Amino acid sequence: MGTSKQAKAGRRKKAVAELTEAEWEIMRVVWEKEPCAAGTVQEALAATRDWCYATVKLTMDRMVQKGFLQIERIRNLQLFRSCVSEVEARRGELRKMLTRAFGGTLTPMLKFLIQHEGLSHAEAAELRELVRKAEKENN
């Protein structure tokens, strides 16, 4: 069992992706449509963002440099694929928020959510079940 706990601890220390708001919007489209061209992303975001093609393409090229996306070239066509899963991106967002607002620890955040944001009976029951499952896995 000691090896399993070490593996879990090792996963937590893995570098996490921290996306900007614009990068989140682009990644949501890429996750849904990959592989896709920058024009496809620009069209998908046209209803919510007034970004021209050049803005989307430049942002996506920068995301390639950051390691969030990769380019697959087919003749003159550039198709983008994600290098970061949605789970990894969410983990990065959570870690950033935890560090800023709660000193990097989860318990104060959960306590805050329960006390100040309220939980429905269904949400409370789901949380209790998640805690029970986590306790069983750790034993």
Residue ending a domain, choose from 82, 101, 127? 82
> DSSP label at 83?
S
Contacts of 31 (CB under 8 A, 6+ apart): 82, 86
Total domains in the chain come to: 2
The pLDDT tens digits of the residues spanning 75-103 come to 999 999 999 999 999 998 999 899 999 99
How many angstroms separate the CA atoms of 66 and 68, rounded? 6
pLDDT digits (tens, 9 = 90+) for 29-50: 999 999 999 999 999 999 999 9
**Residue 115 lies in domain:** 86-138
Record the tokens describing residue 6, joined without a space. Answer: 């070490």
8-state DSSP, 116 = I
103 φ/ψ sector (left φ>0, alpha ψ -120 to 50, else beta): left
CATH number of the domain at 38, please. 1.10.10.10
Work out the angle between the directed axes of helices 21-33 and 86-102 (0-180°, nearest 10).
160
| 59 and 77 fall within a common domain | yes
Q: Domain for residue 90, yes or no?
A: yes
